[in-house]
Structure 1
Amino acid sequence: MALIQENSLFTNASQLSPDQQRLLGKTLIVAPHQDDESLGCGGTIYLLNQLKIPVHVVFVSDGSMSHPNSKKYPTDKLISLREKESIEALRILGVSPEHITFLQLKDGQLPTPQAFNFDLAVHAMGGVLYKFKPETIILPWQRDPHPDHRATWQIVDRAIMNTGTPIRRLEYFVWLWERASQDDLPTADDGKIWEVDIEKGRECKKKAIRAYLSQTTSLIDDDPEGFILSAEVQAHFDTNVEFFLEMKS
Protein backbone atom coordinates (compact mmCIF):
# COMPACT_ATOMS: atom_id res chain seq x y z
CA MET A 1 0.00 0.00 0.00
CA ALA A 2 2.87 2.37 0.76
CA LEU A 3 4.04 2.14 -2.84
CA ILE A 4 0.70 3.59 -3.95
CA GLN A 5 0.51 6.22 -1.22
CA GLU A 6 3.94 7.49 -2.20
CA ASN A 7 3.26 7.48 -5.95
CA SER A 8 2.88 11.03 -7.24
CA LEU A 9 0.76 9.88 -10.17
CA PHE A 10 -1.98 8.96 -7.70
CA THR A 11 -1.57 11.88 -5.31
CA ASN A 12 -1.70 14.29 -8.27
CA ALA A 13 -4.46 12.51 -10.21
CA SER A 14 -6.86 14.56 -12.35
CA GLN A 15 -10.56 14.55 -11.46
CA LEU A 16 -12.89 12.81 -13.92
CA SER A 17 -15.94 14.98 -13.33
CA PRO A 18 -19.56 13.94 -14.03
CA ASP A 19 -19.47 15.96 -17.26
CA GLN A 20 -16.36 14.06 -18.33
CA GLN A 21 -17.93 10.77 -17.27
CA ARG A 22 -20.80 11.46 -19.66
CA LEU A 23 -18.27 11.67 -22.47
CA LEU A 24 -17.31 8.03 -21.89
CA GLY A 25 -20.46 7.00 -23.73
CA LYS A 26 -21.40 3.32 -23.96
CA THR A 27 -19.06 1.63 -21.49
CA LEU A 28 -17.96 -1.99 -21.34
CA ILE A 29 -16.63 -3.19 -17.97
CA VAL A 30 -14.26 -6.17 -18.22
CA ALA A 31 -13.65 -8.28 -15.09
CA PRO A 32 -11.28 -11.26 -14.93
CA HIS A 33 -13.23 -12.73 -11.99
CA GLN A 34 -16.60 -12.21 -10.35
CA ASP A 35 -15.87 -9.43 -7.82
CA ASP A 36 -13.12 -7.55 -9.68
CA GLU A 37 -15.70 -5.17 -11.19
CA SER A 38 -17.06 -4.22 -7.75
CA LEU A 39 -13.61 -3.89 -6.18
CA GLY A 40 -11.93 -1.98 -8.97
CA CYS A 41 -14.71 0.21 -10.35
CA GLY A 42 -17.96 -0.52 -8.50
CA GLY A 43 -18.47 3.12 -7.56
CA THR A 44 -17.92 4.23 -11.13
CA ILE A 45 -20.38 1.63 -12.43
CA TYR A 46 -22.95 3.05 -10.02
CA LEU A 47 -22.27 6.62 -11.16
CA LEU A 48 -22.46 5.73 -14.85
CA ASN A 49 -25.84 4.12 -14.31
CA GLN A 50 -27.01 7.19 -12.42
CA LEU A 51 -25.99 9.24 -15.47
CA LYS A 52 -28.04 6.87 -17.69
CA ILE A 53 -24.94 5.81 -19.60
CA PRO A 54 -25.32 2.31 -21.12
CA VAL A 55 -23.11 -0.16 -19.25
CA HIS A 56 -22.38 -3.80 -20.04
CA VAL A 57 -20.22 -6.10 -17.90
CA VAL A 58 -18.29 -9.10 -19.19
CA PHE A 59 -16.71 -11.66 -16.87
CA VAL A 60 -13.81 -13.48 -18.48
CA SER A 61 -13.11 -16.43 -16.16
CA ASP A 62 -15.58 -18.85 -14.59
CA GLY A 63 -14.33 -18.18 -11.04
CA SER A 64 -13.93 -21.90 -10.38
CA MET A 65 -10.51 -21.77 -8.72
CA SER A 66 -11.39 -19.70 -5.67
CA HIS A 67 -12.17 -22.89 -3.74
CA PRO A 68 -10.85 -25.75 -5.88
CA ASN A 69 -10.95 -28.40 -3.13
CA SER A 70 -14.45 -27.81 -1.78
CA LYS A 71 -16.73 -30.86 -1.68
CA LYS A 72 -19.77 -28.74 -0.81
CA TYR A 73 -19.19 -26.59 -3.86
CA PRO A 74 -17.73 -28.68 -6.68
CA THR A 75 -16.80 -26.87 -9.87
CA ASP A 76 -20.21 -26.55 -11.52
CA LYS A 77 -21.91 -25.50 -8.29
CA LEU A 78 -19.18 -22.96 -7.52
CA ILE A 79 -19.40 -21.44 -11.00
CA SER A 80 -23.16 -21.11 -10.62
CA LEU A 81 -22.81 -19.54 -7.17
CA ARG A 82 -20.28 -16.97 -8.33
CA GLU A 83 -22.45 -16.00 -11.29
CA LYS A 84 -25.46 -15.54 -9.01
CA GLU A 85 -23.37 -13.41 -6.66
CA SER A 86 -22.21 -11.22 -9.53
CA ILE A 87 -25.75 -10.73 -10.78
CA GLU A 88 -26.79 -9.59 -7.30
CA ALA A 89 -23.74 -7.32 -6.93
CA LEU A 90 -24.43 -5.68 -10.26
CA ARG A 91 -28.11 -5.30 -9.45
CA ILE A 92 -27.01 -3.23 -6.45
CA LEU A 93 -24.87 -1.11 -8.77
CA GLY A 94 -27.66 -0.67 -11.28
CA VAL A 95 -26.82 -3.25 -13.98
CA SER A 96 -29.55 -5.69 -15.01
CA PRO A 97 -28.84 -9.34 -15.95
CA GLU A 98 -29.39 -8.79 -19.67
CA HIS A 99 -26.36 -6.49 -19.61
CA ILE A 100 -24.01 -9.16 -18.22
CA THR A 101 -21.96 -11.67 -20.24
CA PHE A 102 -20.10 -14.68 -18.83
CA LEU A 103 -17.35 -16.00 -21.11
CA GLN A 104 -16.62 -18.84 -18.65
CA LEU A 105 -12.97 -19.32 -19.53
CA LYS A 106 -11.05 -21.44 -17.06
CA ASP A 107 -10.15 -19.53 -13.90
CA GLY A 108 -6.41 -19.47 -13.27
CA GLN A 109 -5.66 -20.44 -16.87
CA LEU A 110 -6.62 -17.37 -18.89
CA PRO A 111 -4.52 -17.53 -22.04
CA THR A 112 -1.69 -15.19 -22.96
CA PRO A 113 -0.64 -14.56 -26.57
CA GLN A 114 1.70 -17.56 -26.51
CA ALA A 115 -1.09 -20.00 -25.58
CA PHE A 116 -2.81 -22.20 -28.16
CA ASN A 117 -6.27 -20.99 -27.10
CA PHE A 118 -5.50 -17.27 -27.01
CA ASP A 119 -7.19 -16.59 -30.36
CA LEU A 120 -10.34 -18.36 -29.16
CA ALA A 121 -10.48 -16.08 -26.11
CA VAL A 122 -9.92 -13.04 -28.33
CA HIS A 123 -12.71 -14.19 -30.63
CA ALA A 124 -15.10 -14.54 -27.68
CA MET A 125 -14.22 -11.05 -26.46
CA GLY A 126 -14.54 -9.72 -29.99
CA GLY A 127 -18.10 -11.03 -30.09
CA VAL A 128 -18.94 -8.90 -27.05
CA LEU A 129 -17.35 -5.83 -28.66
CA TYR A 130 -19.25 -6.42 -31.90
CA LYS A 131 -22.58 -6.80 -30.15
CA PHE A 132 -22.28 -3.95 -27.61
CA LYS A 133 -20.09 -1.55 -29.64
CA PRO A 134 -18.60 0.29 -26.66
CA GLU A 135 -17.16 3.76 -26.87
CA THR A 136 -15.10 3.14 -23.71
CA ILE A 137 -13.74 -0.02 -22.13
CA ILE A 138 -12.85 -0.19 -18.43
CA LEU A 139 -10.47 -3.10 -17.91
CA PRO A 140 -7.77 -4.29 -15.48
CA TRP A 141 -4.43 -2.52 -15.28
CA GLN A 142 -2.05 -4.12 -17.74
CA ARG A 143 0.64 -4.86 -15.12
CA ASP A 144 -1.64 -5.98 -12.32
CA PRO A 145 0.28 -8.59 -10.27
CA HIS A 146 -2.43 -11.23 -10.82
CA PRO A 147 -1.71 -13.25 -14.00
CA ASP A 148 -5.40 -13.56 -14.92
CA HIS A 149 -5.69 -9.78 -14.85
CA ARG A 150 -2.70 -9.37 -17.14
CA ALA A 151 -4.06 -12.03 -19.49
CA THR A 152 -7.43 -10.28 -19.54
CA TRP A 153 -5.75 -7.04 -20.59
CA GLN A 154 -3.93 -8.86 -23.40
CA ILE A 155 -7.15 -10.50 -24.61
CA VAL A 156 -9.00 -7.19 -24.67
CA ASP A 157 -6.07 -5.38 -26.27
CA ARG A 158 -5.94 -7.85 -29.16
CA ALA A 159 -9.73 -7.85 -29.56
CA ILE A 160 -9.74 -4.05 -29.82
CA MET A 161 -6.89 -4.19 -32.33
CA ASN A 162 -8.89 -6.65 -34.43
CA THR A 163 -11.84 -4.27 -34.65
CA GLY A 164 -9.71 -1.66 -36.36
CA THR A 165 -11.62 1.00 -34.42
CA PRO A 166 -10.06 3.09 -31.63
CA ILE A 167 -11.84 2.60 -28.30
CA ARG A 168 -11.08 4.70 -25.25
CA ARG A 169 -9.59 2.62 -22.43
CA LEU A 170 -9.47 3.20 -18.68
CA GLU A 171 -7.59 0.66 -16.56
CA TYR A 172 -8.54 -0.03 -12.94
CA PHE A 173 -6.38 -1.35 -10.12
CA VAL A 174 -7.10 -4.33 -7.88
CA TRP A 175 -4.01 -6.21 -6.68
CA LEU A 176 -1.69 -3.24 -7.02
CA TRP A 177 -2.63 -2.33 -3.44
CA GLU A 178 -1.49 -5.64 -1.94
CA ARG A 179 0.98 -7.39 -4.21
CA ALA A 180 2.72 -4.78 -6.35
CA SER A 181 6.43 -4.53 -6.85
CA GLN A 182 7.95 -1.29 -8.08
CA ASP A 183 7.90 -2.58 -11.66
CA ASP A 184 4.13 -3.17 -11.50
CA LEU A 185 3.34 0.47 -10.81
CA PRO A 186 2.27 2.87 -13.55
CA THR A 187 4.66 5.59 -14.66
CA ALA A 188 4.16 8.91 -16.39
CA ASP A 189 5.14 7.18 -19.64
CA ASP A 190 2.14 4.83 -19.34
CA GLY A 191 -0.48 7.55 -19.37
CA LYS A 192 -2.68 9.72 -17.21
CA ILE A 193 -4.20 8.82 -13.85
CA TRP A 194 -7.83 9.83 -13.37
CA GLU A 195 -9.58 10.01 -10.01
CA VAL A 196 -13.35 9.50 -9.74
CA ASP A 197 -15.21 10.79 -6.69
CA ILE A 198 -17.49 7.87 -5.79
CA GLU A 199 -18.80 9.19 -2.47
CA LYS A 200 -22.40 8.97 -3.75
CA GLY A 201 -21.89 5.33 -4.69
CA ARG A 202 -19.62 4.26 -1.85
CA GLU A 203 -22.27 2.46 0.19
CA CYS A 204 -23.61 0.66 -2.87
CA LYS A 205 -20.09 -0.41 -3.74
CA LYS A 206 -19.62 -1.83 -0.24
CA LYS A 207 -22.93 -3.70 -0.51
CA ALA A 208 -21.93 -5.06 -3.92
CA ILE A 209 -18.64 -6.38 -2.54
CA ARG A 210 -20.48 -7.97 0.39
CA ALA A 211 -22.82 -9.71 -2.07
CA TYR A 212 -19.88 -11.98 -2.87
CA LEU A 213 -20.41 -14.18 0.17
CA SER A 214 -18.16 -16.90 -1.25
CA GLN A 215 -15.28 -14.42 -1.37
CA THR A 216 -15.84 -12.36 1.78
CA THR A 217 -17.19 -14.84 4.35
CA SER A 218 -16.70 -18.44 5.49
CA LEU A 219 -19.68 -19.60 3.40
CA ILE A 220 -17.40 -22.19 1.80
CA ASP A 221 -15.71 -23.64 4.86
CA ASP A 222 -14.39 -26.97 3.63
CA ASP A 223 -11.37 -25.83 1.61
CA PRO A 224 -8.40 -24.70 3.72
CA GLU A 225 -6.73 -23.39 0.56
CA GLY A 226 -9.81 -21.42 -0.50
CA PHE A 227 -9.56 -17.75 -1.33
CA ILE A 228 -11.08 -15.03 0.83
CA LEU A 229 -10.94 -11.25 0.64
CA SER A 230 -9.67 -10.30 4.06
CA ALA A 231 -10.95 -7.25 5.89
CA GLU A 232 -7.57 -5.64 5.31
CA VAL A 233 -7.84 -6.14 1.54
CA GLN A 234 -11.43 -4.92 1.45
CA ALA A 235 -10.40 -1.78 3.34
CA HIS A 236 -8.30 -0.67 0.37
CA PHE A 237 -11.52 -0.28 -1.61
CA ASP A 238 -13.59 1.40 1.11
CA THR A 239 -12.75 4.95 0.04
CA ASN A 240 -14.42 7.86 -1.71
CA VAL A 241 -12.26 7.58 -4.82
CA GLU A 242 -11.41 5.14 -7.59
CA PHE A 243 -8.37 5.48 -9.81
CA PHE A 244 -7.95 4.71 -13.49
CA LEU A 245 -5.08 4.94 -15.93
CA GLU A 246 -5.76 6.14 -19.46
CA MET A 247 -3.02 5.01 -21.81
CA LYS A 248 -1.21 7.46 -23.98
CA SER A 249 -2.44 7.24 -27.55
Structure 2
Amino acid sequence: MLLSRFFQKLHRKRESLNFRFKRTVYAPALWRWLLVNSRPMHLSQKSAIVFAPHQDDESLGCGGLIALKQEQNIPIQVVFLTDGRSSHPKHPFIKGEEMVRIRQQEAIDALQILSVQPSQIHFLSQLDGHLPKLSSSERQQMLAQLVQLLQTIRPEEVYVPYRKDVNADHIAAYELIHTALLASRIPAELIQYPVWSLWKPWVWDFSTPELKNAYRLPIIAMRDRKRQALEVYRSQYQPLPPETKPLLPPGFLDRFLSPYEIFFRPEANQK
Protein backbone atom coordinates (compact mmCIF):
# COMPACT_ATOMS: atom_id res chain seq x y z
CA MET A 1 0.00 0.00 0.00
CA LEU A 2 2.78 2.44 0.93
CA LEU A 3 4.66 1.58 -2.27
CA SER A 4 1.52 2.16 -4.34
CA ARG A 5 1.03 5.58 -2.73
CA PHE A 6 4.67 6.39 -3.44
CA PHE A 7 4.25 5.62 -7.15
CA GLN A 8 0.96 7.52 -7.29
CA LYS A 9 2.77 10.56 -5.91
CA LEU A 10 5.62 10.13 -8.38
CA HIS A 11 3.10 9.70 -11.19
CA ARG A 12 1.70 13.15 -10.43
CA LYS A 13 5.23 14.55 -10.71
CA ARG A 14 6.37 12.48 -13.70
CA GLU A 15 6.64 15.45 -16.05
CA SER A 16 9.37 16.91 -13.87
CA LEU A 17 11.40 13.70 -13.77
CA ASN A 18 14.34 13.71 -16.17
CA PHE A 19 14.55 11.02 -18.84
CA ARG A 20 17.61 9.30 -17.42
CA PHE A 21 15.95 8.88 -14.03
CA LYS A 22 12.80 7.58 -15.72
CA ARG A 23 14.73 5.01 -17.74
CA THR A 24 17.29 3.77 -15.20
CA VAL A 25 15.46 4.03 -11.87
CA TYR A 26 11.75 4.68 -12.18
CA ALA A 27 10.94 2.22 -15.01
CA PRO A 28 12.66 -0.83 -13.42
CA ALA A 29 11.04 -0.01 -10.08
CA LEU A 30 7.61 0.19 -11.71
CA TRP A 31 8.22 -3.13 -13.44
CA ARG A 32 9.05 -4.80 -10.14
CA TRP A 33 5.99 -3.19 -8.57
CA LEU A 34 3.81 -4.65 -11.33
CA LEU A 35 5.24 -8.13 -10.88
CA VAL A 36 4.68 -7.99 -7.12
CA ASN A 37 1.17 -6.55 -7.30
CA SER A 38 -0.17 -8.53 -10.27
CA ARG A 39 -2.16 -11.70 -9.71
CA PRO A 40 -1.07 -15.16 -10.81
CA MET A 41 -2.56 -16.19 -14.16
CA HIS A 42 -2.87 -19.79 -15.31
CA LEU A 43 -2.87 -20.76 -18.96
CA SER A 44 -6.45 -21.41 -19.99
CA GLN A 45 -7.58 -24.11 -22.38
CA LYS A 46 -9.64 -21.57 -24.34
CA SER A 47 -9.11 -20.90 -28.04
CA ALA A 48 -7.66 -17.48 -28.80
CA ILE A 49 -6.86 -14.76 -31.31
CA VAL A 50 -3.92 -12.42 -30.79
CA PHE A 51 -4.32 -9.09 -32.62
CA ALA A 52 -1.03 -7.28 -33.30
CA PRO A 53 -0.84 -3.77 -34.78
CA HIS A 54 2.67 -4.45 -36.16
CA GLN A 55 4.87 -7.44 -36.90
CA ASP A 56 6.67 -8.18 -33.59
CA ASP A 57 3.97 -6.93 -31.17
CA GLU A 58 2.56 -10.46 -30.93
CA SER A 59 5.90 -11.92 -29.85
CA LEU A 60 6.74 -9.04 -27.52
CA GLY A 61 3.46 -9.11 -25.62
CA CYS A 62 2.22 -12.67 -26.08
CA GLY A 63 5.10 -14.80 -27.39
CA GLY A 64 5.21 -17.02 -24.32
CA LEU A 65 1.44 -17.41 -24.20
CA ILE A 66 1.31 -18.28 -27.91
CA ALA A 67 3.99 -20.96 -27.52
CA LEU A 68 2.36 -22.41 -24.41
CA LYS A 69 -1.05 -22.68 -26.09
CA GLN A 70 0.50 -24.27 -29.17
CA GLU A 71 2.36 -26.80 -27.04
CA GLN A 72 -0.97 -27.90 -25.57
CA ASN A 73 -2.71 -27.91 -28.97
CA ILE A 74 -5.04 -25.09 -27.96
CA PRO A 75 -6.34 -23.34 -31.11
CA ILE A 76 -4.79 -19.90 -31.60
CA GLN A 77 -4.67 -17.47 -34.52
CA VAL A 78 -2.52 -14.35 -34.99
CA VAL A 79 -3.81 -11.32 -36.87
CA PHE A 80 -1.60 -8.42 -38.02
CA LEU A 81 -3.53 -5.22 -38.60
CA THR A 82 -0.94 -3.11 -40.46
CA ASP A 83 1.70 -3.87 -43.06
CA GLY A 84 4.67 -2.43 -41.11
CA ARG A 85 5.93 -0.33 -44.02
CA SER A 86 6.68 2.79 -41.96
CA SER A 87 9.29 1.39 -39.58
CA HIS A 88 12.26 2.87 -41.54
CA PRO A 89 10.87 5.94 -43.34
CA LYS A 90 14.34 7.46 -43.94
CA HIS A 91 16.15 4.34 -45.12
CA PRO A 92 17.92 5.17 -48.42
CA PHE A 93 17.27 1.83 -50.11
CA ILE A 94 14.46 -0.12 -48.44
CA LYS A 95 11.12 1.49 -49.14
CA GLY A 96 7.41 0.71 -49.06
CA GLU A 97 6.62 -2.70 -50.50
CA GLU A 98 10.09 -4.08 -49.80
CA MET A 99 9.73 -3.30 -46.10
CA VAL A 100 6.26 -4.89 -46.14
CA ARG A 101 7.77 -8.06 -47.63
CA ILE A 102 10.62 -8.13 -45.09
CA ARG A 103 8.38 -7.69 -42.08
CA GLN A 104 5.80 -10.19 -43.27
CA GLN A 105 8.47 -12.86 -43.73
CA GLU A 106 9.96 -12.03 -40.32
CA ALA A 107 6.52 -12.54 -38.77
CA ILE A 108 6.04 -15.91 -40.48
CA ASP A 109 9.52 -17.06 -39.41
CA ALA A 110 9.14 -15.79 -35.82
CA LEU A 111 5.76 -17.45 -35.39
CA GLN A 112 7.10 -20.70 -36.79
CA ILE A 113 9.52 -20.75 -33.85
CA LEU A 114 6.47 -20.42 -31.61
CA SER A 115 4.90 -23.36 -33.52
CA VAL A 116 2.33 -21.22 -35.35
CA GLN A 117 1.74 -22.32 -38.93
CA PRO A 118 1.13 -19.91 -41.86
CA SER A 119 -2.51 -21.07 -42.00
CA GLN A 120 -2.96 -19.59 -38.51
CA ILE A 121 -1.62 -16.16 -39.53
CA HIS A 122 -3.67 -13.34 -41.07
CA PHE A 123 -2.34 -10.13 -42.61
CA LEU A 124 -4.98 -7.41 -42.92
CA SER A 125 -2.45 -5.02 -44.51
CA GLN A 126 -3.72 -1.65 -43.37
CA LEU A 127 -1.13 1.09 -43.87
CA ASP A 128 1.32 1.27 -40.99
CA GLY A 129 0.55 4.36 -38.91
CA HIS A 130 -2.86 4.84 -40.52
CA LEU A 131 -5.13 3.10 -38.00
CA PRO A 132 -5.90 6.31 -36.07
CA LYS A 133 -6.52 8.16 -39.36
CA LEU A 134 -9.07 5.86 -40.99
CA SER A 135 -11.88 7.69 -42.72
CA SER A 136 -15.43 6.82 -41.73
CA SER A 137 -15.83 4.48 -44.71
CA GLU A 138 -12.40 2.88 -44.15
CA ARG A 139 -13.23 2.31 -40.49
CA GLN A 140 -16.57 0.69 -41.30
CA GLN A 141 -14.92 -1.52 -43.89
CA MET A 142 -12.24 -2.65 -41.45
CA LEU A 143 -14.78 -3.26 -38.68
CA ALA A 144 -16.79 -5.44 -41.06
CA GLN A 145 -13.63 -7.39 -41.90
CA LEU A 146 -12.81 -7.86 -38.21
CA VAL A 147 -16.37 -8.93 -37.33
CA GLN A 148 -16.34 -11.50 -40.13
CA LEU A 149 -12.98 -12.83 -38.93
CA LEU A 150 -14.19 -13.10 -35.34
CA GLN A 151 -17.44 -14.80 -36.34
CA THR A 152 -15.58 -17.26 -38.55
CA ILE A 153 -12.96 -18.24 -35.97
CA ARG A 154 -15.15 -17.75 -32.88
CA PRO A 155 -12.35 -17.47 -30.31
CA GLU A 156 -12.97 -17.72 -26.58
CA GLU A 157 -10.20 -15.22 -25.79
CA VAL A 158 -9.19 -12.10 -27.72
CA TYR A 159 -5.82 -10.51 -26.99
CA VAL A 160 -5.37 -6.85 -27.90
CA PRO A 161 -2.83 -4.11 -27.10
CA TYR A 162 -3.36 -2.15 -23.90
CA ARG A 163 -5.89 0.62 -24.56
CA LYS A 164 -3.38 3.33 -23.51
CA ASP A 165 -0.26 1.73 -24.94
CA VAL A 166 1.49 5.02 -25.93
CA ASN A 167 1.71 4.11 -29.65
CA ALA A 168 -1.17 5.57 -31.71
CA ASP A 169 -1.64 2.40 -33.78
CA HIS A 170 -1.85 0.33 -30.59
CA ILE A 171 -4.50 2.59 -29.08
CA ALA A 172 -6.50 2.57 -32.32
CA ALA A 173 -6.15 -1.22 -32.55
CA TYR A 174 -7.72 -1.65 -29.12
CA GLU A 175 -10.65 0.59 -30.06
CA LEU A 176 -11.24 -1.25 -33.34
CA ILE A 177 -11.07 -4.74 -31.85
CA HIS A 178 -13.22 -3.79 -28.86
CA THR A 179 -15.89 -2.37 -31.17
CA ALA A 180 -15.70 -5.36 -33.54
CA LEU A 181 -15.98 -7.85 -30.70
CA LEU A 182 -19.12 -6.18 -29.40
CA ALA A 183 -20.61 -6.14 -32.89
CA SER A 184 -19.75 -9.81 -33.43
CA ARG A 185 -21.78 -10.82 -30.35
CA ILE A 186 -19.20 -13.49 -29.54
CA PRO A 187 -18.88 -14.06 -25.78
CA ALA A 188 -15.06 -13.92 -25.81
CA GLU A 189 -12.94 -12.47 -23.03
CA LEU A 190 -11.04 -9.34 -24.11
CA ILE A 191 -7.54 -9.40 -22.59
CA GLN A 192 -5.07 -6.52 -23.00
CA TYR A 193 -1.30 -6.87 -23.29
CA PRO A 194 1.10 -3.93 -22.79
CA VAL A 195 4.05 -3.30 -25.12
CA TRP A 196 5.24 0.30 -25.23
CA SER A 197 3.80 1.03 -21.81
CA LEU A 198 6.18 -1.60 -20.39
CA TRP A 199 9.06 0.34 -21.90
CA LYS A 200 7.66 3.67 -20.72
CA PRO A 201 5.64 2.68 -17.64
CA TRP A 202 5.74 6.19 -16.19
CA VAL A 203 2.79 6.97 -18.48
CA TRP A 204 0.58 4.77 -16.28
CA ASP A 205 -2.07 6.36 -14.17
CA PHE A 206 -2.10 4.34 -10.97
CA SER A 207 -5.84 4.82 -10.64
CA THR A 208 -6.51 3.08 -13.96
CA PRO A 209 -8.60 -0.08 -13.57
CA GLU A 210 -6.23 -2.18 -15.71
CA LEU A 211 -3.41 -1.92 -13.18
CA LYS A 212 -5.79 -3.11 -10.49
CA ASN A 213 -6.57 -6.13 -12.67
CA ALA A 214 -3.04 -7.00 -13.82
CA TYR A 215 -2.10 -10.67 -14.11
CA ARG A 216 1.27 -12.35 -14.60
CA LEU A 217 1.56 -15.53 -16.68
CA PRO A 218 4.70 -17.62 -16.04
CA ILE A 219 6.43 -18.37 -19.34
CA ILE A 220 9.80 -19.63 -18.09
CA ALA A 221 9.44 -22.86 -20.09
CA MET A 222 9.05 -20.85 -23.31
CA ARG A 223 11.30 -17.89 -22.58
CA ASP A 224 14.13 -19.15 -24.81
CA ARG A 225 11.76 -19.74 -27.71
CA LYS A 226 10.30 -16.27 -27.24
CA ARG A 227 13.82 -14.80 -27.34
CA GLN A 228 14.55 -16.72 -30.56
CA ALA A 229 11.31 -15.47 -32.11
CA LEU A 230 12.12 -11.86 -31.25
CA GLU A 231 15.62 -12.20 -32.67
CA VAL A 232 14.06 -13.07 -36.04
CA TYR A 233 12.80 -9.47 -36.26
CA ARG A 234 16.17 -8.24 -37.48
CA SER A 235 14.70 -5.20 -39.21
CA GLN A 236 13.60 -3.89 -35.81
CA TYR A 237 16.45 -4.90 -33.50
CA GLN A 238 19.52 -4.83 -35.76
CA PRO A 239 20.80 -2.00 -38.00
CA LEU A 240 19.80 -2.20 -41.65
CA PRO A 241 22.95 -1.12 -43.59
CA PRO A 242 23.99 1.58 -44.21
CA GLU A 243 22.33 2.40 -40.87
CA THR A 244 24.61 1.95 -37.88
CA LYS A 245 21.99 1.84 -35.11
CA PRO A 246 18.95 -0.41 -34.68
CA LEU A 247 15.49 1.07 -34.94
CA LEU A 248 14.53 0.27 -31.35
CA PRO A 249 16.57 1.43 -28.36
CA PRO A 250 19.16 -0.69 -26.51
CA GLY A 251 17.63 -2.63 -23.68
CA PHE A 252 14.16 -2.64 -25.20
CA LEU A 253 14.02 -6.42 -25.59
CA ASP A 254 15.18 -7.05 -22.03
CA ARG A 255 11.83 -5.92 -20.62
CA PHE A 256 10.10 -8.66 -22.64
CA LEU A 257 12.40 -11.54 -21.72
CA SER A 258 11.11 -11.76 -18.18
CA PRO A 259 9.88 -15.10 -16.79
CA TYR A 260 6.41 -13.53 -16.90
CA GLU A 261 4.09 -11.88 -19.38
CA ILE A 262 1.70 -9.25 -18.10
CA PHE A 263 -1.97 -9.08 -19.06
CA PHE A 264 -4.88 -6.87 -18.03
CA ARG A 265 -8.13 -8.79 -17.67
CA PRO A 266 -11.69 -7.54 -17.12
CA GLU A 267 -12.69 -7.15 -13.49
CA ALA A 268 -15.42 -9.74 -13.92
CA ASN A 269 -12.72 -12.35 -14.56
CA GLN A 270 -10.80 -11.84 -11.36
CA LYS A 271 -10.00 -15.12 -9.63
Q: What is the CA distance between 1:222 and its match in structure 2?
A: 4.4
**Deviations, residues 213-239 of structure 1 (Å, cap 9, x unaligned):** 111111x23468x97223311111111
Contact persistence 2:238–2:246 (CA under 8 A): no
* Cα deviation code 1:103-145 (max 9, x no counterpart): 0001011136875522122122222212211110111001100
Contact 1:192 1:247 (8 Å CA) reproduced: yes
What is the aligned partner in structure 2 of residue 212 from structure 1?
Answer: 233
State the alpha-carbon separation in 1 of the partners of residues 69 and 192 from structure 2.
16
Q: Which structure exhibits the higher relative contact order, with contacts defined as CA atoms closer than 8 Å and separated by 6 or more residues?
A: 1
Bigger fraction of residues in helix: 2
Structure exhibiting the larger radius of gyration computed from Cα positions: 2
Shift of 1:209: 0.4
Structure 1 distance, partners of 2:28, 2:263, is: 13
- Corresponding residue to 1:231 among 216, 228, 250: 250
Does residue 186 of structure 2 align to residue 165 of structure 1?
Answer: yes
Aligned match of 2:199: 178
| Residue 91 of structure 1, CA deviation | 0.2
Give, as a single letter, the amino acid of the residue that structure 2 aligns with 1:40. Answer: G
Q: Quick one: percent identity of the two aligned structures?
A: 28
Alignment partner of 1:126 out of 147, 153, 167: 147
State the match for 1:242 in structure 2: 261
Aligned to 1:242, the other structure's residue is in SS state: strand
Range 168-177 or range 148-157, more displaced: 168-177
Q: Given the alignment, which residue of 14, 38, 41 partners 1:16?
A: 41
CA–CA separation in structure 1 for the residues paired with 2:38 and 2:102:
37
Report the number of matched residues: 243
The whole-number CA distance in structure 2 between the counterparts of 1:65 and 1:227 is: 15
User: Unpaired segments of 5 or more residues in structure 1?
Assistant: none
C-alpha separation between the residues in 1 aligned to 2:210 and 2:191? Answer: 15
Unaligned runs of 5+ in 2: 1-22
Q: Residue 114 of structure 2 contacts residue 226 of structure 2 at CA under 8 Å; is this kept in 1?
A: yes
**Corresponding residue of 1:53:** 74
| 8 Å contact kept, 2:27–2:200 | no
CA shift in 2, pair 1:91/1:221, >3 Å:
same
Asked whether the equivalents of residues 30 and 137 of structure 1 are also in contact (C-alpha less than 8 Å), the reply is yes
Q: Which residue of 2 aligns with 1:153?
A: 174
Q: Which runs of 4+ in 1 moved over 6 A?
A: none
Q: Which amino acid aligns with 1:50?
A: E
Distance 1:186 1:53 in 2: 35
SS in 1 for 2:98: helix
Residue by residue, what CA displacement relative to the aligned partner does 1:14-71 show, whole Å, maximum 9, x if unpaired?
A: 21224xx22xx11000000000001111011111111110010000010000012334
Structure 1 residues 39, 31: closer, same or farther in 2, change over 3 A? same
Q: Which amino acid aligns with 1:238?
A: L
Partners of 1:6 and 1:202 in 2: CA distance: 21
